[in-house]
Amino acid sequence: MRLSSLILAAGPALIHAAAVAKNSTASSTTTVAKNGTASSTSSGVVGTAYGFAKGTTGGGSAKPAAPKDIAELKLWLADSTPRVILIDKLFNFKGTEGSVKETGCRDFRPGTKCTAANGGQDFIRVKQCDAGWKSVPVTYDKAGVDALEIKSNKSIVGVGNKGVIQGKGLHIAQGSSNIIIQNVHITDLNPQYVWGGDALSIEGATNVWVDHCKFSKAGRMFIVSHFKGNTVTVSNNEFDGVTPGSATCNKNAYWGLMFIAPGEKITLDKNYFHDMSGRSPKINGQGSLLHATNNFFSNNLGHNFEISTETFALLEGNSWVKTTEPIQAGSGPTFADGGAACTSSLGRACVGNEATGSGALPKLGSTVALAAFAKVKANLVAPTAVANTQASVMKSAGVGKI
């Protein structure tokens, strides 16, 4: 594949730089910490899926068990048995499949200011470089580019703050359904290279709940969706963009979340995005819906929301601090203005958003977007006041906080 055929997928970086309740079907327990928040034990999923992933039960009442090593983890994830899989330690895949030495590509076109020579990323797994690009030797960890496959009816649950999958991402294939990923840190997938590895890829799956996880140091996307419509809730996660190799050469990850399947329904609730420079999130699947509520964005040296003209977005209760461009100009049908204009469509007023020390929030009051969300009211999250977003998210988002 020529590099030019990948540019559209790689995106603007090349232009710039070139409610906790017990799950009734799962064996889950919680203990109450001194601060009154729930903390996880080694018994399984905490809480109940909501939003567009409402009804997701994962491994259900299967007995929770921890795999003894990476081989058993790989086997359990990919089999057809309903499972509650405990990630109770570091599962380190780095070096387990060897390394690859090959020829990669680097942008040397006139005017290009961001390359791997000054903190950018080279491209790997490309058969031919385009004009203006030069071939460069690259070496990467093979495990990072081939993800672990997850089949239906699985709960993957970290224990305390111990659950880490290093050097390999997760892949939910077409036709899979009913999957919960909770309280797991996925990290270190060849971050110095574009196409170094996605932390989580979802391809035409229904009922996926990603909750209280942390994503860091990925070579490509933290979360990416493909093919036909997915129904997903992404909640209470930390997206840590600090990276040694940035497509925008500012130590901020450009490759955040990208939802590109047609007809998707995505809930994005109470997540923490920091040190990002783009695509956090990007949505451009035709006819897709994104409801983003009470997310906190901090120290982002690029844009966050990138919303195509083919999609619909409803943004409520989101807070930005020190963010260059909270919502990219030219967004598609989006309602983000808050207020009573939502009442006739949603039966309630919408909660407004706020930005402090950041780029201005554009006026986005699309009634077309409201009409689209009126059809799915049963799955919409009831946002809380934006004044509470930062404190609430900082207290609860990420691993070890359930």
Span 58-396 CATH architecture: 3 Solenoid (2.160)
DSSP reduced 3-state for 285: coil
Q: Which of 29-33, 130-134, 286-290 has the lowest mean pLDDT?
A: 29-33
Q: Can you read off the two tokens belonging to residue 185?
A: 């840190």
What's the rounded mean pLDDT across residues 101-118? 93
pLDDT-derived band at 33, boundaries 50, 70, 90: very low
Percent of the chain with pLDDT over 70: 90
Radius of gyration over every alpha carbon of the chain, rounded to an integer in angstroms: 20
1 pLDDT more than 50: no
34 pLDDT more than 90: no
Cα–Cα distance for residue pair 165/185, rounded to 1 Å: 6
| 240-250 confidence digits (pLDDT tens) | 999 999 999 99
pTM, full prediction: 0.91
pLDDT-derived band at 202, boundaries 50, 70, 90: very high
pLDDT-derived band at 121, boundaries 50, 70, 90: very high
pLDDT score, position 28: 37
What's the rounded mean pLDDT across residues 151-158? 99
pLDDT-derived band at 54, boundaries 50, 70, 90: very high
Q: Are 179 and 154 in contact (CB under 8 A)?
A: yes
| Largest Cα span, the chain | 61
23 pLDDT more than 70: no
394 pLDDT more than 70: yes
Show Cβ contacts of residue 190 under 8 Å, excluding neighbours closer than 6 positions: 124, 140, 141, 144, 145, 196, 197, 219
> Which DSSP string corresponds to 82-141?
-EEEEE-SEEE-TTTT-EEEEEEEEE--TT----GGGT--EE-S-SBPPTTEEEEEEEEE
170 pLDDT more than 70: yes
Q: Can you read off the two tokens belonging to residue 49?
A: 């899926």
287 pLDDT more than 70: yes
Q: How many Cα atoms are found within 13 Å in the side-chain-facing hemisphere of 70? A: 17
pLDDT-derived band at 25, boundaries 50, 70, 90: very low
Task: Parse the chain into domains and list their residue ranges.
Answer: 58-396
pLDDT score, position 127: 87
Cα–Cα distance for residue pair 279/225, rounded to 1 Å: 13
Q: Are 237 and 271 in contact (CB under 8 A)?
A: yes
Kindly name the residue from 83, 106, 220, 279 that is annotated as catalytic.
Answer: 279
What's the rounded mean pLDDT across residues 112-120? 92
Q: Are 281 and 258 in contact (CB under 8 A)?
A: yes
Residue for token pair 């990467």: 140
pLDDT-derived band at 315, boundaries 50, 70, 90: very high
What's the rounded mean pLDDT across residues 324-344? 97
pLDDT score, position 40: 43
Strand locations in 33-82 (E): 38-40
> Is 279 a catalytic site residue?
yes
pLDDT score, position 374: 99
Q: Can you read off the two tokens belonging to residue 126?
A: 């490309």
| 179-201 confidence digits (pLDDT tens) | 999 999 999 999 999 999 999 99
31 pLDDT more than 90: no
